[in-house]
Amino acid sequence: MSVHESFDAINTPAEGPVAFTRWRGLLSLSLGLLLGPIVALVNQELIYSANMWACGHGARGPMHIIPLLCLAVAVGAGLTARHDWKAVGGGVHDEEATVEQRTRFIALLGMLMSAFSAAVIVAQWAAIVVFEPCMRA
């Protein structure tokens, strides 16, 4: 194998289930699974941090930017998981222990976790809508 062929083999993106045995596919699966819950926790922390500023300045509007951005990231993580799920054919067939079955399971779990995280972010956003910043401080 020549140097050129080796370079092409390494840098050519794999397709189908084989893609999920390399770092790009594994990163995509990991982001789809873990990014939603991490963003929900970051959303809570940023809301608590920005609340004191909003109370001191009497500004309600900027408080809505945090959950909006976090919700967009959580939905993006769910869409990444859905893309991974579709890449291995979708469905829920899981009778063999193959890369396709593992990828399908983790992608489905990523969609579920992202949906739950998005619901948590919306619930935290509801508190911003209902309560004044100084009431939450």
Question: Which residue in 47, 56, 61, 49 sits closest to 123, CA to CA?
Answer: 47
Q: What is the pLDDT of residue 12?
A: 47
Cα within 13 Å of Cα(43), Cβ side: 29
Prediction pTM value: 0.79
**Mean pLDDT for each 10-residue chunk of the chain (137 residues)?**
55 54 76 94 94 86 93 96 85 73 88 96 93 72
Q: Per the structure, how many domains does the chain have?
A: 1
**Cβ–Cβ < 8 Å for 50, 67:** no
* Rounded Cα distance, 79 and 110, in Å: 9
* Rounded Cα distance, 88 and 96, in Å: 14
* Rounded Cα distance, 97 and 6, in Å: 30
Per the structure, the complete domain to which residue 117 belongs is given by 3-136
**Cβ–Cβ < 8 Å for 57, 84:** no
Residue-wise pLDDT tens digits, 111-135:
999 999 999 999 999 999 998 878 7
